Amino acid sequence: MIDWPLAELLPHAGDMILIDQVLAFDEEHIQTRLTVRAGGLFNRDDGSLPAWVGIELMAQSVAAYAGCRARLEGNPVVLGFLLGTRKFECNVEHFALGAELRIHAQRSLEDDNGMGVFECHLTGPGIHATARLNVFRPPQAENYLTQKPQEPRHD
């Protein structure tokens, strides 16, 4: 189990941190968990989470993987981007209130330019979801957020 606070591993704040804990981490994998609780940003009226939130849970697990690596290397945690997902499949329409979910992400590709691909699995009571996430961690992510739009050209 990793004891680092999630707020130090994820470039998210407050209610946007959806996972509860990093269970295990190494050079190729991360395992995280959460318990579905009522009152979150994405909960349905009955307290459950729609299955599509599984993509965000997988993405936050990948972000926690990057945060763990940064911490081990003595680097700051930086912002990354979820570019897309392929083959998201889930056998349920929602994750029930109180369900304990476990997410496993395995790095299958990462290049020096910040592009990465992760194979992800989410499991819980009667739940199985899978997806392949394409992610990007640019060398200077803050520039993407502060860059001003270009003025239209009038030729």
- For 45-61, how does the pLDDT look when each residue is reduced to its tens digit (9 = 90+)? 999 999 999 999 999 99
Q: What CATH number has the domain spanning 6-141?
A: 3.10.129.10
SS3 at position 79:
coil
Report how far residue 129's alpha carbon sits from residue 124's, in angstroms, rounded to the nearest whole number: 9
CA distances from 41 to 12, 18, 33, 96, 123 (A): 14, 9, 18, 15, 21
> And the tokens for 121?
């699995």
Q: What is the pLDDT of residues 77-103, one digit of tens each?
A: 888 899 999 899 999 999 999 999 999
> And the tokens for 12?
């998210």
Domain boundaries in the chain? 6-141
Average pLDDT rounded to a whole number, residues 69-78? 89
Q: What pTM was computed for the model?
A: 0.88
